[in-house]
Amino acid sequence: MNSANATHAAAFERWHDAIRHGLERMRESGEISTAADPDSLALAILAVLEGGLLLSQITRSTSRLELALDSMIDLIASYRP
């Protein structure tokens, strides 16, 4: 892996860790079920966000990003006790 890729990978890992930590806190506080997997959800959120941002740049519209993020919010909400 070249240094630019390593830098990007490290940045994404920090972002993934921060999202996962937030989801773990939500699970620990009872905001979402213990059935929720914070690591998998964090990865999915990051992937949806990045994909949605790319689509927004390509299409010059935020509608696909909004739809993707709304879907992730719905998924997380499905884990509410």
42 within 8 A of 19, measured Cβ to Cβ: yes
pLDDT in tens, 16-60: 999 999 999 999 999 999 999 999 999 999 999 999 999 999 999
User: Distance between CA atoms of 41 and 73, rounded to whole angstroms?
Assistant: 11
pLDDT of residue 64: 92
Determine the CATH number of domain 3-77: 1.10.357.10
Q: What is the mean pLDDT of residues 3-27?
A: 95
3-class SS of residue 37: coil
- Ranges of each domain in the chain: 3-77
